[in-house]
Amino acid sequence: MKGKVHLYGDHVDTDQIIPGAYTKTLDVDELASHVFEYLDPDFRTRMNSGDFVVAGENFGCGSSREQAPLALKAAGIAAVVASSFARIFYRNAINIGLSVVEVGPHEIENGSELEIDLKAGALTDLTAQRTYPTAKIPAVMLDILNEGGLVPYLKKHGDYQL
Amino acid sequence: MSQTAVEKILSQHVGQPVRPDELVIVPVDTIMASDATAPYAIRAFEEMGGGDLWRPDKVILVIDHAAPAPNQRIGNLHQMMRKFAQEKGCRLYDVGAGICHQVMVENRHAQPGEVVIGADSHSCAYGAVGAFATGVGSTDLAALMRTGKTWLKIPPTIRIELTGRLPAGTVAKDVILFLVGQLGLNGASYQAIEYTGEAIDGLTLAGRMTLASMSVEMGAKAGIVDPRGLELPYRFEPVWADKQAHYSQVLRFDLSNLSPQISVPHSPDQVVPLEDVQGTRVTMAFIGTCTNGRFEDLQAAAAVLKGRSIAPHVRMIIAPASREVFNQALQEGVVETLSQAGATFVTPGCGPCVGTHLGVPGDEEVVISSANRNFRGRMGNPNAKIYLASPAVVAATALCGVITDPGQVMEKTTSSS
């Protein structure tokens, strides 16, 4: 998949991804309408479906709200790329079928074009003409992601399989 | 094989010795979801096929994050939880029972040596009683409702040795703020923390919960407190770490010169000694949360405010951690002292911590809070500033209207009497 980069820094916490006040709803479009509301109020008007969020260390730290990856996914973000992820966000993203790519330290710039091949674990910065190695997703998580999330995974398998 | 406390607990549950970084499927003892996470968990559970819960007696739902419901939409989400609990036969603690983590510990749903998973990041608080406890999101919890199991990467353990005696005027909150400042927001990412040492042996259960709850502010998967000195209202078998256990890091801090600590806007790890920001004007003071809303926290605030009135420009909001906490505070005159000083009590629960209701600050307001997070907008307004400190500091600050070391106002009481 190919898309444009929206770049953020380190420690983007869940309150910045979706403020707590807007999390109490089952309407994911409602969640999407508040994504990055404090951090980047114009994000929704600038972004296009299929774009990527790229960040630094510890993306998604803070609360366990699954509404954070849900809001990003519902807004049309195809994948989140970060130097590292907070663990609950990482699990949640995979469980709801949002692709997450751990890339380590990087020099990706805002507005760049990226190409991501999840299966091959390849990430290419097309603008800077540079490829980055990506961290391997644990096998169980890859299985869950390949099924489209934990709901379809458990529907199919009935139980966890290592 | 020598093991850390966390490795022991997880080995017992998995049924074979486990090592750090190993992927395992672990059967759990109890699971929990709040009104912030249960609605999505219930929906995912139904989408997975619905039917019976793995064990209805081991599934705990708590309405605490937006309780009582501030609007129609949330009122309906609460109804969804009540209906689910009734149909499936699981336990639901309704509006006013208290904060999920307090309710879990008070009602013995989280006990030493157990594996307890909550759909709330501060579930790590149960490490206070010696449980392996961690937070997950709604869909993971839905899978647990179905299977009673989850997958886990065994976390390496960081041992934090706290030596020396805590100086008078410092409490568990100062210890954990200091540690979060030292380690940073991701200093313990994907790892477990074992807190040990003479400085914390004397901590009460409340203080231990303060410590364990903020483990997640360092990115930790779990934070478990050495059971030495632990007192619980029931008999229990503590899980001790082996002396030869292998730790990913051993960090030692001498706390004998610790001073009151404060986290400044906008991140919990921006921690400085209180004296660095003394005199900062505040307009809102909040005591509560799973980190510092217990009886001894209210009592500490009452000790500062007894016979006094808070500054006229300050609103002071108190959300007791549970009904049990509130009742004890009522019986012991703590509620009266605080109310007469000008504090306002709200429903036992999360209160204004999560920015949903019960005290959203206005633009440019400065809040002093006993909570665990001060990310920008955490309390519902990105244009407000939040400082985090111990309940006594919050009370002294409410009293003076500026950030104040309680030691100073308490000394005045002593010298004038």
What percentage of chain A exceeds 70 in pLDDT?
Answer: 100
pLDDT tens profile B315-364: 999 999 999 999 999 999 999 999 999 999 999 999 999 999 999 999 99
**Domain presence at residue A86:** yes
Contact B218, B180 (CB under 8 A): yes
Give the separation between CA B203 and CA B209, rounded to whole angstroms. 10
**Domain presence at residue A18:** yes
**pLDDT above 80 for B411:** no
The pLDDT score that the predictor gives to residue A120 is 86
The pLDDT score that the predictor gives to residue A119 is 83
Q: Do A151 and B48 touch (CB under 8 A)?
A: yes
Question: Amino acid letter at B274?
Answer: L
The pLDDT score that the predictor gives to residue B417 is 44
What is the interface pTM, i.e. ipTM, of the complex? 0.97
With beta carbons under 8 A apart, name residues in chain B contacting A150: 44, 139-140, 142-143
**Domain presence at residue A158:** no
With beta carbons under 8 A apart, name residues in chain B contacting A38: 376-377, 382
**Domain presence at residue A161:** no
With beta carbons under 8 A apart, name residues in chain B contacting A139: 23
Mean pLDDT of chain A: 96
Domain region containing A53: 2-135
pLDDT tens profile B151-167: 999 999 999 999 999 99
* Nearest CB neighbour to A88, from listed B137, B150, B378: B137
The pLDDT score that the predictor gives to residue B414 is 55
What percentage of chain B exceeds 70 in pLDDT?
Answer: 99
**pLDDT above 80 for B412:** no
Measured between CA atoms, the residue of chain A closest to residue B184 is A11
With beta carbons under 8 A apart, name residues in chain B contacting A91: 136-137, 140
Give the separation between CA B324 and CA A142, rounded to whole angstroms. 44
For residue B405, report the phi and psi dihedrals to the nearest 5 degrees.
-80, 120
**pLDDT above 60 for B416:** no
pLDDT tens profile A117-127: 988 889 999 99
Token output for B343? 């504090």
DSSP helix/strand/coil, B403: coil
pLDDT tens profile A56-94: 999 999 999 999 999 999 999 999 999 999 999 999 999
Domains in chain B, CATH or no CATH each: 24-151 (3.30.499.10), 155-258 (3.40.1060.10), 261-416 (3.30.499.10)
**Smallest CA–CA separation between B143 and chain A, in Å?**
8
**Contact partners, residue B273, CB within 8 Å, separation at least 6:** B259, B260, B261, B262
The domain that holds A29 is classified in CATH as 3.20.19.10
Q: Do A24 and B120 touch (CB under 8 A)?
A: no
Q: What count of CB pairs under 8 Å joins A to B? A: 143
**Domain presence at residue A79:** yes
* B266 interface with A at CB cutoff 8 Å: no
The pLDDT score that the predictor gives to residue A138 is 86
With beta carbons under 8 A apart, name residues in chain A contacting B47: 151, 155
pLDDT tens profile B225-279: 999 999 999 999 999 999 999 999 999 999 999 999 999 999 999 999 999 999 9
**Domain presence at residue A145:** no
Give the separation between CA A69 and CA A90, rounded to whole angstroms. 9
**Domain presence at residue A122:** yes
Q: Would you place residue B413 in the very low, low, confident or very high pLDDT band (cuts 50, 70, 90)? A: low
* Nearest CB neighbour to B151, from listed A86, A87, A140: A140
Q: What is the CA radius of gyration of chain A?
A: 15
Token output for A26? 């089952």
The pLDDT score that the predictor gives to residue B274 is 98
Q: Whole-model pTM?
A: 0.97
Give the separation between CA B44 and CA B38, rounded to whole angstroms. 10
Count: domains in chain A: 1
* Residue whose pair of structure tokens reads 């017992």 in the numeric block: B12
pLDDT tens profile B161-208: 999 999 999 999 999 999 999 999 999 999 999 999 999 999 999 999
Contact B137, A66 (CB under 8 A): yes
Displacement of CA B281 from its chain's centroid (Å): 26
Question: Amino acid letter at B387?
Answer: Y
* Residue whose pair of structure tokens reads 């307004």 in the numeric block: B381
The pLDDT score that the predictor gives to residue B143 is 98
Tell how strand A113-117 and strand A122-125 pair up. antiparallel
**Domain presence at residue A153:** no
